[in-house]
Amino acid sequence: MSGAFGSTPPTVKAHCNSCSRTTVHKVLFQKRQREDFDDSEGESYGYSAEDYQLIECCGCEEIKLMVTSDGSEFDTYVTYHPGAMARQRPSWANDLFLNGVLDPRLDNIYELLREIYTGLQNRMPRLVALGVRGLIESVMVHQLEDRGSFRANLQALFEAGHLSARDKDRMLKIIDVGSAVTHRAHTPTEAEVIAMVTVAENLVMSVYITDGLANTAHKRVPPRPARDRRPKQ
Could you report the per-residue pLDDT of 113-145, keeping only the tens digit for each?
Answer: 989 998 988 889 999 999 999 999 888 888 888
Q: Say whether both 64 and 136 belong to one domain.
A: no
Measure the CA–CA gap between 144 and 153, rounded to whole angstroms.
8
- Average model confidence (pLDDT) across the chain: 84
Q: Say whether both 149 and 183 belong to one domain.
A: yes
Measure the CA–CA gap between 152 and 130, rounded to whole angstroms.
19
Measure the CA–CA gap between 139 and 158, rounded to whole angstroms.
13
Indicate the number of domains in the chain: 2
pLDDT digits (tens, 9 = 90+) for 1-10: 556 666 678 9
Q: Which residues pair with 37 in a beta bridge?
A: 46
Do the domain assignments include residue 191? Answer: yes
Output the CA–CA distances (angstroms, integers) from residue 34 to 28, 29, 51, 52, 108, in the order listed.
Answer: 21, 17, 9, 11, 44
Do the domain assignments include residue 88? Answer: no
Q: Say whether both 200 and 120 belong to one domain.
A: yes
Q: Say whether both 51 and 153 belong to one domain.
A: no
Which pTM was predicted? Answer: 0.69
Helices of type H across the chain: 93-102, 104-121, 125-143, 150-159, 165-183, 190-204, 210-219
Written as tens digits, the pLDDT of the chain (233 aa) is 556 666 678 999 998 988 888 999 999 999 999 988 877 777 777 889 999 999 999 999 999 999 999 988 888 888 888 888 777 788 888 777 776 555 677 888 888 998 999 898 888 999 999 999 999 988 888 888 888 888 888 898 889 888 889 888 888 888 888 889 989 999 999 889 999 999 999 888 888 877 766 766 767 778 888 776 667 66
Domain that holds residue 70: 3-81
Is residue 174 within 8 Å of 201, Cβ to Cβ?
A: no
